[in-house]
């Protein structure tokens, strides 16, 4: 998670919260823990990848009991161990798979105890942070501001089923230090927030009696976080809102277990230059696969000649779903035989030699969506360009989509702000109920380019427009795309672009969301 006092994400035990102030897995099994004899000559590269840490895995300070509902109801492999066993596993695992394993600091493991950090998961999260590379990018930001831990059961529910505990609204901070400004950027339909009439552009003024704008105390921050990120279903929190018309009112929101809707507002616009398709794409989670196929089929059948892809709030998700979408936009002729993303691992990772390290443009569904069979032929728009609405919330797998399309000559024209800058990804690794997301790979497109750690700058800089709904042709980013489609130019004056740049620099919008929503995941090779 990326906000606030320290710019460091909160720990696994409080994974749903973010600090607001400045100043005032199930992807891969960690193994059974069997220490008997190592791997034979026919072991797969995937097994070789974690051969050493697998022998140390599943010795847990607090072993799970029963069966794993996300792994064919198989028994959990956990057995009694200690936090020291879990730290030993983590250190070994990092030296095996971490992209920058030659830059791992010599952290003293004994300092990271449950007593010092409040819980075993918090101590392990802090130890992971201590093992991350201390190096920075060209702009001075930390090179690895992304590796994190997350409770495995919550990771599985979110990534596989799109289920999270929330109110159904996404909030962004335009200023994280008092005086703060927190704005709702969208609300999902049929959610507690929607039932209360909370819409885009609504400002959060207070939560449970704490002033969102001015409160600078730690106790106040804890209250604000608890209200914004409910930990359990059924929590009730009192909000004070101000809507776009300036009306202030109170509303009580009760958290619920909600299914994310990653694809929304699929529509078309008629212009003198042809029919334009538009859709909001919010997250590359498993259920997005079927929704994207349905949306692109609808737009193909509508005969669109241009596409506006709204990913300004899309932090990423499964890289292979980004590959599917890239194929559906570009089509067979442009993408056949080309590389969507060539993964780059550390020098000792066996996956360097794996065919799976080359991600092509998927021409069929990959079976992520449980409601959709794998192997289904994907629709093709066969476009030579796409207008991408983007900003600081556009991250990871979304950036890979842009880079992958540009690698095969499809114009991905960015409108909005600079993207987040995350050309890295990982495989989730569970050990003892905590999933570890250590950066494992970077990647290049078909032209060999993958260096965008400081983000992609927009081709046309436009400030986000909270005064209009997403999909409204008068909303600033979409209006710019429609103008560009008709005139062949960005359509905003140099003064307007300069003003947008100044506003974006001063506000630096930051979406309040957890680390699962700013990533490029891969599932293990089959």
Residue 6 lies in a domain: no
pLDDT (tens digit, 9 = 90+) per residue, 162-193? 678 899 999 999 988 899 999 999 999 999 99
Domain that holds residue 38: 12-161
> Is there a contact between 464 and 509 (Cβ–Cβ < 8 Å)?
yes
Q: Nearest Cα to 341, choosing from 419, 287, 397?
A: 397
Phi, psi of 77 (to 5 degrees): -80, 0
**Highest mean pLDDT (candidates 145-154, 382-391, 512-521):** 382-391
| pLDDT confidence of residue 139 | 86
Is residue 31 predicted with pLDDT exceeding 70?
no
Residue 295 lies in a domain: yes
Same domain assignment for residues 296 and 321: yes
Is residue 17 predicted with pLDDT exceeding 90?
no
> Is there a contact between 439 and 100 (Cβ–Cβ < 8 Å)?
yes
Same domain assignment for residues 185 and 217: yes
Same domain assignment for residues 252 and 322: no
HSE-up of residue 229 (Cα within 13 Å, Cβ side): 18
Cα–Cα dist 274/271, whole Å:
5
Cα–Cα dist 316/313, whole Å:
9
Residue 429 lies in a domain: no
Domain boundary pick from 161, 183, 207: 161
Is residue 498 predicted with pLDDT exceeding 70?
no
Euclidean distance between the first and the last CA atom of the chain, given in angstroms as a whole number: 30
Cα–Cα dist 158/518, whole Å:
13
Q: Which residue has the higher pLDDT, 493 or 324?
A: 324
Cis amide linkage into residue 179, ω under 30° from 0: yes
Same domain assignment for residues 296 and 368: yes
Cα–Cα dist 485/488, whole Å:
6
Kindly give the interhelix angle for 319-330 and 397-407, rounded to the nearest 10 degrees: 40
| pLDDT confidence of residue 356 | 84
Same domain assignment for residues 387 and 496: yes
pLDDT (tens digit, 9 = 90+) per residue, 391-423? 999 999 999 999 999 999 999 999 999 999 999
Residue 525 lies in a domain: no
Summarize the chain as % helix, strand, coil (round to 5): 30, 25, 45
Domain boundary pick from 259, 289, 311: 259
Residue 483 lies in a domain: yes
pLDDT (tens digit, 9 = 90+) per residue, 205-222? 999 999 999 999 999 999
Same domain assignment for residues 254 and 268: no
| pLDDT confidence of residue 37 | 36
Is residue 378 predicted with pLDDT exceeding 60?
yes
What element of type H or E holds 174?
Answer: strand 169-175
Same domain assignment for residues 486 and 384: yes
| pLDDT confidence of residue 39 | 44
Residue 329 belongs to a domain with what CATH number? 3.90.226.10
> Is there a contact between 259 and 164 (Cβ–Cβ < 8 Å)?
no
Same domain assignment for residues 156 and 187: no
Torsion of CA 237, 312, 146, 30, to 10 degrees: 80
Same domain assignment for residues 134 and 192: no
Cα–Cα dist 482/269, whole Å:
9
Same domain assignment for residues 178 and 93: no
Residue 186 belongs to a domain with what CATH number? 2.30.42.10
Q: Please, where are the H alpha helices in 164-215?
A: 192-195
Is residue 12 predicted with pLDDT exceeding 50?
no
| pLDDT confidence of residue 362 | 97
| pLDDT confidence of residue 1 | 31
Q: Of the ranges 275-279, 354-358, 443-447, 449-453, which one carries the lowest mean pLDDT score?
A: 354-358
Mean pLDDT of the chain: 88
Domain boundary pick from 259, 275, 293: 259
Same domain assignment for residues 452 and 511: yes
Cα–Cα dist 517/315, whole Å:
5
Segment 329-348 mean pLDDT: 97
> Is there a contact between 468 and 475 (Cβ–Cβ < 8 Å)?
yes
Same domain assignment for residues 289 and 176: no
> Is there a contact between 361 and 402 (Cβ–Cβ < 8 Å)?
no
Reduced to 3 states, what is the DSSP secondary structure of residue 455?
coil
Cα–Cα dist 307/285, whole Å:
21
Is residue 34 predicted with pLDDT exceeding 80?
no
Where residue 159 falls among pLDDT bands split at 50, 70, 90?
low
| pLDDT confidence of residue 501 | 58
Q: How many independent structural domains does the chain possess?
A: 3
Residue 448 lies in a domain: yes
Residue 526 lies in a domain: no
| Residues shown for the chain | 526
Cα–Cα dist 46/422, whole Å:
24
């Amino acid at each position: 998670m990326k906000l606030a006092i320290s710019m460091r994400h909160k720990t696994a035990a409080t994974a749903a919260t973010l600090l607001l102030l400045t100043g005032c897995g199930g992807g891969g099994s960690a193994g059974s823990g069997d220490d008997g004899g190592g791997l034979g000559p026919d072991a797969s590269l995937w097994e070789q990848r974690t051969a050493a840490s697998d022998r140390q895995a599943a010795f847990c300070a607090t072993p799970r009991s029963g069966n794993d509902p996300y792994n064919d109801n198989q028994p959990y492999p956990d057995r009694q161990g200690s936090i020291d066993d879990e730290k030993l596993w983590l250190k070994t695992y990092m030296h095996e798979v971490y992209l920058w394993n030659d830059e791992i600091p010599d952290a003293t493991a004994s300092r990271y105890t449950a007593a010092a950090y409040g819980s075993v998961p918090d101590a392990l999260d802090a130890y992971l942070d201590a093992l991350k590379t201390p190096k920075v990018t060209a702009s001075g930001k930390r090179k690895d501001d992304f590796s994190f831990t997350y409770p495995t059961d919550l990771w599985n529910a979110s990534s596989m089923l799109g289920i999270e505990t929330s109110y159904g609204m996404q909030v962004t901070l335009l200023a994280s230090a008092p005086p703060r400004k927190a704005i709702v950027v969208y609300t999902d339909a049929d959610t507690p927030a929607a039932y209360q009439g909370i819409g885009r552009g609504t400002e959060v003024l207070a939560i449970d009696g704490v002033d969102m704008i001015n409160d600078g105390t730690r106790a106040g921050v804890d209250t604000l976080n608890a209200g914004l990120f409910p930990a359990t279903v059924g929590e009730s929190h009192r909000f004070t809102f101000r809507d776009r018309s300036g009306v202030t009112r109170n509303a009580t929101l009760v958290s619920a277990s909600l299914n994310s809707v990653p694809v929304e507002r699929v529509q078309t616009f008629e212009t003198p230059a042809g029919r334009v398709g538009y859709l909001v794409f919010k997250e590359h989670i498993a259920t997005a696969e079927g929704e994207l196929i349905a949306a692109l089929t609808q737009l193909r059948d509508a005969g669109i000649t241009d596409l506006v892809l709204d990913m300004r709030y899309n932090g990423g998700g499964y890289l292979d779903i980004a590959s599917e979408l890239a194929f559906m936009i570009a089509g067979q002729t442009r993408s056949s035989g080309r590389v969507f993303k060539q993964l780059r691992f550390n020098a000792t990772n066996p996956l360097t030699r794996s065919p799976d390290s080359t991600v092509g443009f998927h021409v069929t569904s990959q079976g992520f969506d449980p409601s959709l069979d794998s192997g289904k032929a994907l629709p093709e728009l066969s476009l030579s360009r796409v207008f991408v609405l983007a900003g600081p919330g556009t991250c990871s797998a979304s950036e890979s989509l842009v880079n992958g399309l540009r690698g095969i000559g499809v114009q991905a024209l960015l409108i909005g702000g600079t993207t987040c800058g995350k050309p890295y990804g990982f495989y989730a690794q569970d050990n003892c109920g905590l999933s570890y997301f250590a950066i494992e790979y970077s990647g290049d497109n078909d032209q060999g380019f993958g260096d965008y750690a400081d983000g992609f700058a927009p081709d046309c800089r436009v400030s986000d427009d909270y005064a209009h709904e997403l999909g409204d042709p008068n909303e600033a980013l979409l209006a710019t795309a429609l103008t560009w489609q008709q005139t062949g130019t960005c359509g905003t004056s140099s003064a307007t672009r300069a003003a947008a740049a100044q506003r974006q620099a001063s506000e630096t919008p930051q979406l309040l969301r957890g680390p699962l929503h700013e990533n490029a995941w891969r599932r293990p090779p089959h």
